[in-house]
Amino acid sequence: MTELRDRIIIFDTTLRDGEQSPGASLNVDEKLTIARQLARLNVDVIEAGFPYASPGDFEAVQKIAQTVGEESGPIICGLARANRKDIEAAAKALKPAAKGRIHTFIATSDIHLKHKLKKTRQEVLAIAEEMVAYAKSFVEDVEFSPEDAGRSDPEFLYQVLERAIAAGASTINIPDTVGYTTPSEFGALIRGIKENVPNIDKAIISVHGHNDLGLAVANFLEAVKNGARQLECTINGIGERAGNAALEELVMALHVRRQYFNSFFGRPAESEEPLTQIDTRQIYKTSRLVSNLTGMFVQPNKAIVGTNAFAHESGIHQDGVLKHKQTYEIMDAQSIGLTDNQIILGKLSGRHAFANRLKELGFELSETELNNAFLTFKAVADKKKEVTDWDLESIVNAEIQQPPEIFRLELVQVSCGDRARPTATVTLRTPTGEELTDAAIGTGPVDAVYKAINRVVNVPNQLIEFSVQSVTAGIDAIGEVTIRLRYGDRIFSGHAANTDIIVASAHAYINALNRLYGALHKQKSQSETPATPVAQS
């Protein structure tokens, strides 16, 4: 465990806490796609989900354990409340992983004990000890979290942590569950744990925090100075309420300012040795993938991965950067994978060259996905003189995010103008193979397309978000469209890319409707054939 204290362990919880962002629900295939990219990013731990929460979460954790959890890959972690059924479900889902971790938790703050758990401190002490030991009977690697540690009585917290470590927890995670603490307070909390928990040397100290006051990253960096060696974070900082500490901000802060942080690891100040094992060149690609799949766009001025992060509008800044980048840039855009927008393929490029370039970009596609992506590439290359890496990433991301094809868009045609009523005609192929055509008038061309599609599909839904983003500059740029639909209390997302925004909008809508229709069909099948709850099987 000593070598793990010489650097920072990056624990990514995008697929668990990040998915708890309102409207950011992911299906199993989408989670698997993100997990593969997190493995390329080289995170140490992937918290893949909460297996007992639902059959879907159980399946996602199990599939990630099977496909990403090889010996050379990251640790695959499943969350479990401090009870036997949760822990059993997590153990079963994690079984295929070469390195599985059960992360169990129970609240320790008086406000949670009184109003949520309705238990005494002594009862919580006993539960924590018993359930950590129970988790240890399934896996060697057990993590324990005292929920709402930031508002817990320190003396009681020390007792709980001592018991949990004695019972077998090798990682002790300290959550600022409600984003309440300030950096100096959080640093003091970690320092107090190091000084007052007798057996703390037998465990790694981890931190988890929310950004309700905009202090999550600052809190974590202060925790690192005081002995924390695992950081629980998410891509783009997504998560409950105001989100989690952002992985890309933490990693790049430790990278850019490593001379400052080196002393806290006992290293010479001038050491260039990385403080994490993250492949920073994968950061931008991972950010875009998570943004596209969750439908949560990154704000332009977001640190590290926002579109304005390396943009300069001021004449003084532009002049300085042209003379020497470090006058106004503290990091190289290429260090996060944001490369120059170079032409790499054209309409005469063959399938082999296309496949090789995708492999260089880090994509692993099935034969079917590759064939479909190549056809899309050819269509784009016919319309664009310059096809860039960003274009290719957009094409491939749109392809690998496709849901099972139930309804298929065969034709979309729009008529609009400042003196005309926007009208759309669409033709869809239905699940039975029948082609149906309908038309509708809307407030605009996209509204008309969606109304026409709804007339054919006839599945009630509410459009709650429509977002368009340009992949590259220029009049012929690929536009990415992400939409989210609500059906009852569930939300379904769709994503598509095309040089024609209307066409991209239609495909994104069909993608979301296919997910919605597929979920309804699956729900109907399950109701007709009752199954044993997965956590008890």
Cα 348 to Cα 370: distance, rounded to the nearest angstrom: 17
* pLDDT number for residue 392: 81
Structure confidence at residue 531 (pLDDT): 40
How many other CB atoms are found less than 10 A from the CB of residue 322?
Answer: 10
Question: Using 50, 70 and 90 to split pLDDT, how confident is the model at 2?
Answer: very low
What's the average model confidence in pLDDT over 462-473? 81
Q: Is the dihedral of CA 243, 248, 249, 254 positive or negative?
A: positive
Q: Are 288 and 261 in contact (CB under 8 A)?
A: no
Tokens describing residue 443: 């407030």
CA distance 342 to 427: 37
Spatial neighbors of 399 by CB under 8 A, at least 6 apart, are 365, 369, 372, 373, 376
- DSSP state letter for 201: G
Using the predicted structure, report yes or no on whether residue 362 has a pLDDT greater than 90.
no
The H-or-E segment that residue 494 falls in is strand 490-498
Strands 100-107 and 230-233: unpaired
Q: Taking Cα atoms as reference points, which of 234, 232, 224, 216 lies closest to residue 103?
A: 232
- Secondary structure, 3-state, 99-138: CEEEEEEEECCHHHHHHHHCCCHHHHHHHHHHHHHHHHCC
**For 238-242, 285-289, 344-348, which range has the lowest pLDDT when averaged over its residues?**
344-348
Residue with tokens 């990251």: 74
Lowest mean pLDDT among 58-72, 217-231, 378-392: 378-392
Beta 9-12 vs 45-49: how paired, if at all?
Answer: parallel
More confident residue, 176 or 20: 176
Contact 193, 200 (CB under 8 A): yes
Structure tokens at 255: 């990278």
User: What burial class does residue 208 get, using C-beta atoms within 10 Å of its C-beta: 0-12 exposed, 13-18 middle, 19+ buried?
Assistant: buried
- Model pLDDT, residue 105: 98
Beta strands at 141-147 and 100-107: parallel, antiparallel or unpaired: parallel
Task: Give the distance, in angstroms, between the CA of residue 362 and the centroid of all CA atoms in the same chain.
Answer: 18
pLDDT in tens, 288-326: 889 878 878 788 889 999 877 776 444 444 445 445 455
pLDDT at 533: 35
State the average pLDDT for the chain. 87
Work out the percent of the chain whose per-residue pLDDT is above 90.
Answer: 60
Sequential DSSP letters for 405-447: -SSEEEEEEEE--TTS--EEEEEEE-TTS-EEEEEEE-SSHHH
Q: Which residues of 33-62 are buried (b: 16+ CB within 10 A; e: fewer)?
A: bbbbbbbebebbbbbbbbbbbeebbbbbbb
pTM for the structure as a whole: 0.81
Whether pLDDT at 351 is above 90:
no
Give kind and range of the element (H or E) at residue 154: helix 154-167
Kindly report the three-state secondary structure assignment for every residue of 3-61: HHHHCCEEEECCCCCHHHCCCCCCCHHHHHHHHHHHHHHCCCEEEEECCCCCHHHHHHH
Please state, as a whole number, how many other Cβ atoms lie within 10 Å of the Cβ of residue 140. 11
DSSP bridge pairs for 495:
482
CB of 228 within 8 A of CB of 221?
no
Decide if 184 contacts 222 (C-beta within 8 A).
yes
Q: 208 in helix, strand or coil?
A: strand
Most confident range (mean pLDDT) of 50-64, 343-357, 493-507, 521-535 is 50-64
- Would the pLDDT of 69 be above 50? yes
How far, in Å, CA of 259 to CA of 490, rounded? 47
Greatest mean pLDDT among 207-211, 319-323, 357-361 lies in 207-211
* pLDDT value for 342: 52
